[in-house]
Structure 1
Amino acid sequence: MNITIKTLGEFRLFKNNEEISLPKSKRSRALLAFLAMTARPHRRDRLCEIFWEIPNDPRGALRWSLSKIRPLINDTTTERLIADRERVALLTPDIELDIHVMDKKISEHTLSIDEIKTLLKQLEEPFLMGIDLPSQSLFQRWLESERHEINKMYGRALAKLSLHPNLTPHEKLNWLKLWLDHEPYNTKAATILLNQLKFLDELSAFEKTSAELSLRFKNAGMSWPIKIDNNIEVSANEKSQTPSAHELLNRQKIKFCSTKDGVRIAYASVGQGYPIVKAANWLSHLEHDWDAPIWSPLFRDLATDHHFLRYDERGNGLSDWDVKDISFNAFVEDLETVVATSKLEKFALLGISQGASVSIEYAIKHPERVSHLILFGGYAAGWRIDSSEEQMREREAILTLTEVGWGQSNPAYRQIFSSTFLPNAEKAELDWFNEFQRLTTSPTNAVRFLSAFGDIDVRQQLGKISVPTLVIHSLGDQRIPASVGRDIASRIPNAEFVGLESEGHLLLGREPASKIFVDTVREFIAKNS
């Protein structure tokens, strides 16, 4: 069965080139488009939030829409729409989306002028025309984001046509002007346009355009050194070296594996290069991490030159929430299962916060697999181990506040939590954090996690580590003091310690310490390879 989906213009679906009638319900059509475009699992609760804020029974509405979509997508031999109690996903390996075909086409090196013009005409059609849901803000934000990406694709097609070798010089000039009109702050388009004007001896236009562009970039606070070189050229297929959060989310493929006790763990990887496996730590979500002010800049940078693999631990993110065992040993088993399923022979292992303890245990059990051990903000002993009475009371208070304040704008909870995890967070970042809490896990599981962290104790294991180890810690960390990180480094044979100028237990991507973190990790992997 050949299934084709047209997203530009009117939303349409074809089976073996025959058009199939879609449900009359706009929400059902929007849901099908969303599942096809994202091509990854979504929690049922999240889909209800995205598409049905108003109904008294959003889960019932979701079930009804899925019942309308299922016969359109599935057939007697292939089940493409996968829906269980917690998640819904549309498997798309044999589903062709017009927008994906065009994206690949633009990257080809041998397109004719007419072929590029055809692509431009197709990309001018509105994406998912008539499927806006003004009352559903989450869906609308996703829709606008996709339309923005298609607008960028249109710019790439314009760039490719502007630089086509078969254009006459004046045709090239006209298309360069259209490219710059579409992307008015593209310094490469501006530079090539000026060079073309100079090449054609249009000196008056050159002077006028140069002045206008210089003022435009200056007012925008952009640096633009004008370079006049008739031999200058830029690849029409060139993209930014640092992919956007949206691009990374679309590139990663989320899969599932099952642990020995039957828990399904969601994992995903993105990027190329030497592999880095990030051990799961509390508060993760394979989809929403890319938009996080905490993690996304770090993950994005590492994924530019590494094969970056991460997963959601049990009870969290896209992995199973309803689980019997949330404990340190279970966390280690989650990591072992993901690595075994991924079939990575050798990799750098990154452990953050309690993920550092999990990484330590794994590196001792499987030293033949771990080439580099990188620990950030870690601890070897949980809060119940050798704690003072005052420290115990503080942690117990956090457990109580978590139970009642998780995912809510509770000032008392926010004050205790943010003062130790994110002491320098701004209001917008704290608002994001509250929403992120709801998406990652339930209040009950949050308490179970915090309690399990208290029982961790790998102090006796530190001296057994035999792989190159880097310990990084924020010098002002108010949750896990830097002295804890130094103690870990001193107990691990030949470990290096790097202190960051930050007060956060979790790094905010805008902090200078975040860049130092990524640079330090890269240098450590490179020099120990």
Structure 2
Amino acid sequence: MLAFLVATGRPHRRERLCELFWDQPDDPKAALRWALSKLRGVVDAPDHPRIVADRERVHIDVDGVEIDIRTIYQALRQHRVALDFGDLEAMAQQLDMVLLDGLDGAGDERFQSWLTAERDDARAAHVDVLRQLAAHPRGTPIAKEKWARLWRAAQPSGDAAREPPPPATPAADPRSTDPGRGSGKRPASVTARARSKAPRARALRAQRIGFCQARDGAKIACATVGSGPPLLKAANWLNHLEFDWASPIWGRSFATIARYRTFIRYDERGCGLSDWDVADLSFDAFVDDLEAVADALGLDRFPLLGISQGCAVSIEYAVRHPERVTGLVLVSGYAAGWRLLASPEEQARREAVMKLTEVGWGTDNPAYRHIFSQTFMPDASAEDLAWFDEFQRLTTSPGNAARFQEAFGHIDVRDRLALVKAPTLVVHSVHDQRIPLDQGRSVAAGIPGARFIP
């Protein structure tokens, strides 16, 4: 309600506020009075009450308060040509964030319609700012190239997509004599690694996180980001809805998917933002989590993305619900766990790792977690390995880390492969150190019509 009052900047009838935000309580007017009393304690100053309410109407006095979105709108209206380049960059950074993030579902359908319209206005302003940056005379060639690319990405079907790119600059001219220009060399400040993190940061800010409940009552955190047809990713351990975006393994891929799809992910029970304290940490429970997410989001027909043990979960779900799954993309997965296929020596090694996990996973010493990091990323830099070591510790508890490993060992969907009806693509790394290539090949061979790409 506070955001609504500030953003609209005008008085509202009490009845209107009750309809927007309190259609459920037995006494909406009492709920409004309670909310106003709480807001007064937050925003009122001793000599300046900001919540102004009488028997009919409520409004907030914002005199002397800078409201960033209003400041941006005013600047765009008053200074169409003379805006400073630095000011435009600051506006672009602010408008890249989701307006009033986290307020979806805070009111009734009319509030949601208002919120959608406000966000549409903010997106239009964002496109305008990016357009001005792409053509600004003070922009460097590299900066103009970046802003032009972002401008087109922000409005791919609008005027920006139909207009030609900005004129060629010395940066792209092979005849340039300026060192670093036209030579293919980029300054350290604009390395590919730095550029690749920008889409991930935007995706993290834009994603919506909610919760649903599995059949046994476990709360499952799920997130959506992007637009377009849905793609649901089955959870696999070592995931975290927020921290995944910085991952050197899959962060960039996730950001790319979100550019073309409504990308839906969730943290399975026992890790990430979902319930950690759960009695059942088994394969059937993992499938239940996937079912809960698909049902909660009202997904009728959709493709599934499975990675690692998420492949087996996706296969089982596709067999149970062939009418809902339009396709499977299975990456570095397996149909049977290590308890069923590994040699006695390999099983003994994995049991030893589980014991080490129980005693060392949550410690500050990353040596225990480093066992996993190096198998996931054998060629990673020391910086990326250190990040992944810490990421593992944050995803789950030591006890759950050991329980996950045991549960994965008992996975077996070999008898379900032939029952898959959906078109399937199986992708597997040739040099995967955790899951051998032959296991991916076996998955593809068992699913009718599956395509295998090593």
TM range (shorter): 0.5 to 0.7
Match for residue 132 of structure 2? 160
Following the alignment from structure 2 to structure 1, what is the Cα–Cα distance between the partners of residues 202 and 285?
A: 32
Following the alignment from structure 1 to structure 2, what is the Cα–Cα distance between the partners of residues 115 and 125?
A: 16
Q: Is residue 2:390 matched to residue 1:435?
A: yes
2:390 aligned partner, one-letter code:
E
CA contact (8 A) 1:120 1:158 kept: no
Q: Secondary structure at the match of 1:304?
A: helix
Following the alignment from structure 1 to structure 2, what is the Cα–Cα distance between the partners of residues 368 and 304?
A: 27
What is the Cα deviation at residue 330 of structure 1? 0.8
Match for residue 447 of structure 1? 402
What is the Cα deviation at residue 283 of structure 1? 0.8
CA contact (8 A) 2:133 2:147 kept: no
Matches within 5 A, 1:404-443: 404-408=359-363, 410=365, 412-414=367-369, 416-443=371-398
Match for residue 72 of structure 1? 42
CA contact (8 A) 1:4 1:98 kept: no
Q: Is residue 2:3 matched to residue 1:3?
A: yes
Matches within 5 A, 1:121-140: none
Q: Secondary structure at the match of 1:374?
A: strand
Match for residue 148 of structure 1? none
What is the Cα deviation at residue 97 of structure 1? 9.9
Matches within 5 A, 1:378-393: 378-393=333-348
Q: Secondary structure at the match of 2:405?
A: helix
Following the alignment from structure 1 to structure 2, what is the Cα–Cα distance between the partners of residues 469 and 14?
A: 48
Q: Which runs of 5+ in 2 are unaligned?
A: 12-37, 44-64, 95-124, 150-164, 188-194
- Give a deviation string over 1:5-61, Cα, whole Å, max 9, x none: 9xxxxxxx999789xxxxxxxxxxxxxxxxxxxxxxxxxxxxxxxxxxxxxxxxxxx
Q: Secondary structure at the match of 1:282?
A: coil
- Percent identity, aligned pairs only, is 45
Match for residue 202 of structure 2? 247
1:179 aligned partner, one-letter code:
G
Match for residue 59 of structure 2? none
Equivalenced residues, count: 352
| Structure 2 counterpart of 1:315, from 252, 270, 278 | 270
CA contact (8 A) 1:372 1:469 kept: yes
Q: Secondary structure at the match of 1:300?
A: helix
Q: Check 1:411–1:246 CA distance in 2 against 1; reply closer, same or farther (3 A cut).
A: closer
Match for residue 496 of structure 1? 451
What is the Cα deviation at residue 401 of structure 1? 1.7
CA contact (8 A) 1:371 1:467 kept: yes
Q: Check 1:102–1:397 CA distance in 2 against 1; reply closer, same or farther (3 A cut).
A: farther
Match for residue 137 of structure 2? 177
Q: Is residue 2:289 matched to residue 1:329?
A: no
Match for residue 185 of structure 2? 221
Query: Structure 1-normalised TM-score?
Result: 0.58
CA contact (8 A) 1:265 1:318 kept: yes
Matches within 5 A, 1:98-497: 98-99=67-68, 112=77, 114=79, 157=129, 159-160=131-132, 176-180=136-140, 183=143, 192=166, 215=179, 217-218=181-182, 221-222=185-186, 244-408=199-363, 410=365, 412-414=367-369, 416-497=371-452
CA contact (8 A) 1:269 1:307 kept: yes
Q: Check 1:373–1:16 CA distance in 2 against 1; reply closer, same or farther (3 A cut).
A: same
Q: Check 1:244–1:393 CA distance in 2 against 1; reply closer, same or farther (3 A cut).
A: same
Q: Check 1:412–1:216 CA distance in 2 against 1; reply closer, same or farther (3 A cut).
A: closer
- Give a deviation string over 1:151-171, Cα, whole Å, max 9, x none: xx99973752785xxxxxxxx
Q: Which runs of 5+ in 1 are unaligned?
A: 6-12, 19-67, 74-95, 129-152, 164-175, 196-205, 224-239, 500-529
Following the alignment from structure 2 to structure 1, what is the Cα–Cα distance between the partners of residues 66 and 283?
A: 43
What is the Cα deviation at residue 420 of structure 1? 2.7
Following the alignment from structure 1 to structure 2, what is the Cα–Cα distance between the partners of residues 471 and 488?
A: 8
